[in-house]
């Protein structure tokens, strides 16, 4: 089963992922070391569920 790289949105096979990181008890997998580094620099930016990004009122 493939998972989504939280940084770039690419589908990644966890067994072949270029990197992984844990954040708040969840493991995230990445297509590249660059994506892993970006995630680790700002994990809260990428780890948030997509549908919760719009907390502000229009």
What gap in Å lies between CA 45 and CA 18, rounded to an integer? 20
Please state the pTM of the whole predicted model: 0.79
Query: How much is the pLDDT for 19?
Result: 97
Q: Phi then psi for 8, rounded to 5 degrees?
A: -105, -15
* In the predicted structure, residue 53 carries a pLDDT above the cut 60: no
Query: How much is the pLDDT for 21?
Result: 97
Task: Please give the helix or strand (H or E) that residue 36 lies within, else none.
Answer: helix 33-41
Query: How much is the pLDDT for 30?
Result: 98
**How many C-beta atoms surround the C-beta of residue 45 within 10 A?**
12
Confidence of residue 50 (pLDDT cuts 50, 70, 90): low
Residue-wise pLDDT for 4-34, tens only, equals: 999 999 999 999 999 999 999 999 999 999 9
In angstroms, the Cα distances linking 1 to 16, 30, 32 are: 11, 14, 18
């Amino acid at each position: 089963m493939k998972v989504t790289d939280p940084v770039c949105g690419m589908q990644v096979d966890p067994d072949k992922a270029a990197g992984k990181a844990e954040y708040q008890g969840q493991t995230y997998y990445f297509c590249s070391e660059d994506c892993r580094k970006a995630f680790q620099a700002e994990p809260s930016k990428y780890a948030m569920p997509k549908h919760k990004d719009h907390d502000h009122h229009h």
